[in-house]
Amino acid sequence: MQPDKFYYDNKIVRNFGIATVIWGIIGMLVGLIIAIQLYQPAMNMHNQYTTFGRIRPLHTNAVIFAFVGNAIFMGIYYSLQRLMKTRMYRDVLSKLHFWGWQLIIVSAVITLPLGMTTSHEYAELEWPIDILITIVWVVFGINMFGTIIKRRERHIYVAVWFYIATFVTIAVLHIVNSVELPVSFTKSYMVFAGVQDALVQWWYGHNAVAFFLTTPYLGMMYYFLPKMANRPIYSYKLSILHFWALIFIYIWAGPHHLLYTTLPGWAQSLGVVFSIMLLAPSWGGMINGLLTLRGAWDKVRDDVTLKFMVVGLTAYGMATFEGPMLSLKQVNAIGHFTDWIIAHVHVGALGWNGFLTFAILYWLIPRIYKTELYSKKMASFHFWIGTLGILFYAIPMYISGFTQGLMWKEFTPEGILRYPNFLETTMRILPMHVMRSVGGAMYLTGVIVMAVNLYKTAAQGKLVANEAAEAMPLEKVNAHAGTERWHRRLERKPILFMIGSLIVILIGTFIELMPTLTISSNIPTIASVKPYTPLELQGRDLYIREGCSNCHSQTIRPFRSETERYGEYSKAGEFVYDHPFLWGSKRTGPDLQREGGKYGDSWHYNHLMDPRLMSPGSIMPEYSWLIHQKLDTTTTPAKIRAMQVLGVPYPAGYDKLANQDLDKQAKGIADNLAKDKIRVKSNKEIIAIIAYLQRLGTDIKANKTANNN
Amino acid sequence: MFKQFTEHIDGNQVYLLFSLFIFPVFFIVVTLLLLRLRKQHVDYMSDIPLNDCTETDIKLSKP
C-alpha cells in the first residue's frame, strides 16, 4: 500500500497566531488602564465608555476569549492536523471559524463599552452575540470532528481528548448560562433569578476556567511539551487518569464561589469537597508535564520555550493548590471579595495561560515560516520581564488581599469594628494597586517585545502555507476488535468519546444544579419582598449597564463583621425577582444590599456626580452623565412584560400603566432633591438609579416580622 | 442559618453521599482499566506527537 500525500494547513494556524498576539496586547492594555483607574479614577478620561465598570468586562473578555481563545485555536489547528495525520476537514470551515470568532470579539469591543451587558461574569455578551458564539462553536466542532473522522492515525492521542472535552463542555456551559429572555435587540433578562441564577452563573464561571483556560491548555501541553523536549510524555497512563478525573471533578466545584451566601448549604459543601479533590488530578497533570523534562533539564537552560513551559506549569501548580485552599470555608471567609482572588486568578492567567501561549508561539512561528527565531535575546528578555511582571503583580495583590480581608473583620476590644469606614481599608491598599500596575506594565512590555520578535521572525522567513506530509491510509479493523482493551477501543471512536465525556460532566451538573433549580423549598419566599417598581427596574438596568456589580457586592454573609458593617445578612427569598442576580464577586467598594435608606437622595445625587465630594479619597469614578442623560422610558412596557413572562407578579395589563407609576415616583425623588436645592428634571437617569439604590434591601427592613414560608 | 435549608430539602444527605460515592468508584474503575493496558500500546500512544509525518520527519526517519 502506498502512503497518502497531503498538506497541513499552516495559514490558519498563522492567522490565529496573529490574532492571539494582537488581542493579547489590546486585552492586557485595557487591563493596565483599569488597574491604574483603581488608584487614579481620572484615567477613565471622564468618559462613560472607558469607565471601570464597563471596560473591566472588556478586559476579561478580551484576555479570555480573544487572547486565550485564539491561542487555543492556534494550538488545536496545529496539533490536531498532525496528531490525526490529515489536513483540517474543510478549509472553508476553518476560515468561517476564524472570521466568525474575530467578529464575536469585535462585537464585544463595541457593545461592552456601550453598557450592553447581561452582567453575568465572563458571559456578559448580549443574546444576539450569544447566538453567534453558538454558531461559530458548532462550525469549530464540525471542523474538528470532521478532521478526527477522516484521520490517518487510528488512535486518538490524549491531547485530542482534552480538545473534545473542551468542545462539548463549553457548548453545554454556554447554552445553559445563556438562557435569557430578550427584551430588545440589545437587552435581555436571565431566565433564572437570585440564588438559582447565581448557581448557574458560577457553575458556568468556574467551568469556563476549567474548560476554556485549563483543558485545552492541558491538551496543548501534552502535544507541545513532548515536541519541545523531543521526548514522550512522562506517563501516558497518568495522562488518562488525569483526563478522566479532571473532567469528572471540575464540574462540581462551582459552588465554592458562593460560600456563605444563601445557596443551600449542602450544595456549598459539595463544592468544597470536590474542590479539595481537584488538587489530585491538577497536580497529576502538572507533575506529568514537569517529569517529561526528566533528563532534559539541561535544555531548559538554553531553550526559551522550555523556560516558559516550566514557569507556566509551576504557575498552574501554584494556582491549583491555592484554588482548593481558597475553597475551604475558613480561608474563603477572609479571601473572598478581596484582591487575594485577583492575585490567584492572575497567577493562573499570566503564568499558566500566558506563558504556555508564549512558549507555543516561540516554538511554532519559526517552524511554519521555516526559519530560526529572529532574536533569542529578545525572547529571553521577554521571559525575565514577564516572570518579574507576574511577581510584581501577584505579591502586592496578595498583601492587599490579606490586608483587606483582615481589616474588614477586625474588632476593637470593646466589640466595635476597628475600621467602620470602608474607605479606610481602600486607602490602605492603594500603594499595592500602584505596584500591581507596574507588574502589569512589565508583563505587557514583554508581550510587545515578543510581538516585534515574532514579526521579524516572520519577515525573515516565508510562510509554508501548505506543509507537505505523507502517511499510510487507515485500514479497516474488525479482526481483533473483540479482544481489544476498553480504553483502546474508546480511543478509536471520537463520537463515542465525546458522548462519554458529556456523560461524565453531566453527572456533576445534574446532581448539583437540579435540586436548587427544581425544589422550591430551597428558596424560601418572604412575604414582604415585592417586585421592583418600574422606576427601580429601570434604575437596576442602569446599575447593570454601568457595571456597578464589578466593584459592589449585594450579598451579606452571616458574619458579625458583615452584619455590623452592612446590616442584616442576606436571605434567599430576597432575590426571587432579581433577573439577573447582582451579588458580584469583588468588594472594591462596600456591599450595597442594605443601601436603601442609609443616606438621603441628595447624598446619592452628589456622590454619583462626584464621589469625592461625599467620600474624600474615594476611588469610585464619577457618573456625571447620569445627570444629563434622559431615561429611556419607551422600554418600560416591554421590560414589565418580560418580567411577567419570567414569573414576576405584576398585575395583568400593568405594562400599560407602568410609566405612569414611574413618572410619579420620579417626580417624588426630584421634589425631594429640590428640597436640598438640587435642581434636576425627573426624567433623568440619575433619578432612576437613586430609586433603585434606595430600594436595596428595604423589603426586610420594612417588615421585620416577615417569616420564611 | 443553613439549618432551614437542610430541613427543607428532602433527601439532601442522599445527594451528598451519592456524590461522594460515585467519584471513588469511577476513579477505581478507570485505574483498574489502566493497569490492564499493554506496555506496547502505551509506548505507541506516547510516541504519536513525536512524528508529524512531514518531509522533515520522513527525512529524519530514513537511515
* Selection from A124, A41, A9, A141 nearest residue A580 by Cα: A124
Q: What is the DSSP letter of A522?
A: G
For residue A567, count other CB atoms closer than 10 A to its CB: 18
Band (pLDDT 50/70/90 cuts) for residue B34 is: confident
Band (pLDDT 50/70/90 cuts) for residue A708 is: very low
Confirm whether the ipTM is greater than 0.85.
Answer: no
Closest Cα in chain A to B15: A511
> Do A277 and A415 share a domain, yes or no?
yes
* Selection from A76, A91, A71, A60 nearest residue A17 by Cα: A71
> Do A10 and A60 share a domain, yes or no?
yes
User: Which of A487, A509, A525, A562 is the best substitution to test chain B (most B C-beta atoms within 10 A)?
Assistant: A487
Name the burial class of residue A271, with classes exposed (0-12), middle (13-18) and buried (19+) by CB atoms within 10 angstroms of its CB. buried
Distance CA A271, CA A509 (A): 11
> Do A497 and A460 share a domain, yes or no?
no
Closest Cα in chain A to B44: A155
Total domain count for chain A? Answer: 3
**Residue A680 is assigned to a structural domain of this protein:** yes
Q: Are A400 and A429 in contact (CB under 8 A)?
A: yes
The domain of A154 spans 6-471
**Residue A684 is assigned to a structural domain of this protein:** yes
Band (pLDDT 50/70/90 cuts) for residue A646 is: very high
> Do A183 and A124 share a domain, yes or no?
yes
What is the arithmetic mean of pLDDT over A532-548?
A: 97
CATH of the domain at A74: 1.20.210.10
CB pair distance less than 8 Å for A485 and B1: no
Band (pLDDT 50/70/90 cuts) for residue A168 is: very high
**Residue A702 is assigned to a structural domain of this protein:** yes
**Residue A262 is assigned to a structural domain of this protein:** yes
Residue of B2, B30, B54 with shortest CB distance to A265 = B2
> Do A579 and A679 share a domain, yes or no?
yes
> Do A552 and A609 share a domain, yes or no?
yes
Distance CA A100, CA A221 (A): 26
> Do A495 and A559 share a domain, yes or no?
no
CB pair distance less than 8 Å for A245 and B5: no
Q: Give alpha helix (H) positions in chain B.
A: 3-8, 12-35, 39-47, 55-61
CA distances from A167 to A208, A372, B48 (A): 11, 34, 22
Distance from the A515 Cα atom to the nearest Cα atom in chain B, whole angstroms: 8
**Residue A584 is assigned to a structural domain of this protein:** yes
pLDDT digits (tens, 9 = 90+) for A393-450: 999 999 999 999 999 999 999 999 999 999 999 999 999 999 999 999 999 999 999 9
* Phi, psi (rounded to 5 degrees) for A188: -145, 165
Closest Cα in chain B to A486: B33
Q: Are A542 and B30 in contact (CB under 8 A)?
A: no
Distance CA A637, CA A250 (A): 42
Q: SS3 for A445?
A: helix
* Phi, psi (rounded to 5 degrees) for A36: -70, -35
**Residue A256 is assigned to a structural domain of this protein:** yes
Q: Are A362 and A76 in contact (CB under 8 A)?
A: no
> Do A42 and A142 share a domain, yes or no?
yes
Mean pLDDT of chain B: 71
Distance from the A658 Cα atom to the nearest Cα atom in chain B, whole angstroms: 36
Q: SS3 for A557?
A: coil
> Do A460 and A490 share a domain, yes or no?
no
pLDDT digits (tens, 9 = 90+) for A184-232: 999 999 999 999 999 999 999 999 999 999 999 999 999 999 999 999 9
Band (pLDDT 50/70/90 cuts) for residue B58 is: low
Q: SS3 for A39?
A: coil
**Residue A526 is assigned to a structural domain of this protein:** no
> Do A428 and A545 share a domain, yes or no?
no
Cα angle vertex B54, ends A358, A496, to 5°?
80
Secondary structure string (H, E, C) spanning A644-668: HHCCCCCCCCHHHHHHHHHHHHHHH
Closest Cα in chain A to B57: A469
**Residue A184 is assigned to a structural domain of this protein:** yes
CB pair distance less than 8 Å for B42 and A468: no
- By mean pLDDT, which of A327-341, A519-533, A536-550, A602-616 is the weakest? A519-533
What is the arithmetic mean of pLDDT over A280-287?
A: 94
Q: Which residues does chain A have within 8 Å of residue B59's beta carbon, measured at their own beta carbons?
A: none
> Do A163 and A134 share a domain, yes or no?
yes
More confident residue, A700 or A557: A557
CB pair distance less than 8 Å for A266 and B58: no
**H or E element at residue A250:** helix A236-250
Residue of B1, B9, B58 with shortest CB distance to A266 = B9
According to the model, what pLDDT value does residue A702 have? 53
CATH of the domain at A670: 1.10.760.10
A474 reaches B (C-beta below 8 A): no
* Selection from A349, A262, A307, A271 nearest residue A65 by Cα: A349
According to the model, what pLDDT value does residue A481 have? 52
> Do A418 and A504 share a domain, yes or no?
no
